[in-house]
């Protein structure tokens, strides 16, 4: 049993496909396999057009496992792979390598050279090679179909509530904590400066209420325990009050203190609190930051 796609975000529409595949695999007594691609196909088809990435490969594997997937298969998307005809794609990949008995895909799925293959093509090839094909219509709400493209637009606009509705959880940005200019600590609001991976989907500039987590097992760092999420006020932008130029993601952990440099962390964006702005004075900035902390507690405490 195989379900195929990029699955960036592993959103609610993806979860529907994956659930269908997992249930069918269980009924047949065979493994449920999720097949994805790396890098994103768009980067190979049109170099430089890599879309903002909602989830890392490791995060996708983690979410797939939570949904019951037995095997997470990553296919390198190369120039040669891109040139496979739909027939070769199915024969070489699905039949010869994976020995599929059923394939579950979205009803808009395309594959093969120049995306010439459709779900109908897959069904025709399935009849030839002896496997079933289930094309599933993706779910949505309010006349909007949940898709990675839609979620990227929500994130880009800073609408974290809409992004979370489609994802089924808050949007997450992972990264390593790096040294910043230390200004937050000087002001009494120390922050973890998170350096995300290339192509990560970063929300619009502003301040957000969210959760901060040190990823992976390990000993407690200061008062922060790896794997435990803690409240954080998250700033995205260039720090215009100080005429900053570099766009950064900085998380002020509300109830924790630790030396987090070099740690792999995640910030989950829950709600947009305010836009990024240049304050007339340090006092005005500190007053706003105090309100950000209060509002973060209100949002996450609820």
Q: 180-208 burial by CB neighbour count: b if 16+ within 10 A, else e? A: beeebeeeebbbbbbebeeebbbbbebbb
CA distances from 150 to 11, 153, 167 (A): 11, 5, 10
Q: Give SS3 for 245.
A: coil
- Has 257 been annotated as catalytic? no
> 82, 113 in Cβ contact below 8 A?
yes
At residue 263, what are phi and psi to the nearest 5 degrees?
Answer: -80, 145
> 158, 203 in Cβ contact below 8 A?
yes
> 254, 296 in Cβ contact below 8 A?
yes
Tell me the chain's radius of gyration from C-alpha atoms: 22
**From the candidates 250, 257, 271, 283, which is the catalytic residue?**
250
**Residue among 221, 210, 223, 214 at smallest CA distance from 252:** 210
Residue 229 β-bridge partners = 213
Task: Provide the annotated active-site residues.
Answer: 250
């Amino acid at each position: 049993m195989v379900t195929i796609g990029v699955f960036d975000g592993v959103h609610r529409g993806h979860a529907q496909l994956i659930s269908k595949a997992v249930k069918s695999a269980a009924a047949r007594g065979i493994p449920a396999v999720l097949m994805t691609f790396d890098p994103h196909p768009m980067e190979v088809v049109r170099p430089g057009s890599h879309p903002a990435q909602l989830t890392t490969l490791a995060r996708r594997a983690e979410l797939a496992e939570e949904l019951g997937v037995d095997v997470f298969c990553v296919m390198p998307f190369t120039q040669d792979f891109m040139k496979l005809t739909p027939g070769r794609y199915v024969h070489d990949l699905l039949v010869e390598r994976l020995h599929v008995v059923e394939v579950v895909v979205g009803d808009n799925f395309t594959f093969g050279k120049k995306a010439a293959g459709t779900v109908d093509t897959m069904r025709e090839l399935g009849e030839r090679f002896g496997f079933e094909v289930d094309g599933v219509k993706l779910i949505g709400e309010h006349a909007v179909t949940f898709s990675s493209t839609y979620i990227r637009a929500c994130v880009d606009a800073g609408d974290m509530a809409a992004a979370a509705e489609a994802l089924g959880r808050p949007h997450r940005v992972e990264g390593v904590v790096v040294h910043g200019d230390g200004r937050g600590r000087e002001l009494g609001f120390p922050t973890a400066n998170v350096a995300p991976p290339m192509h990560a989907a970063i929300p619009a500039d502003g301040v957000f209420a969210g959760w901060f987590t040190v990823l992976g097992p390990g000993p407690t760092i200061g008062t922060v325990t790896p794997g435990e999420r803690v409240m954080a006020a998250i700033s995205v932008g260039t720090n215009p009050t100080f005429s900053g130029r570099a766009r950064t993601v900085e998380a002020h952990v509300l109830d924790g203190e630790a030396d987090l440099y070099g740690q792999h962390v995640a910030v989950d964006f829950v709600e947009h609190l305010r836009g990024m702005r240049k304050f007339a004075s340090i006092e005005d900035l500190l007053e706003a930051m105090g309100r950000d902390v209060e509002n973060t507690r209100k949002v996450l405490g609820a």
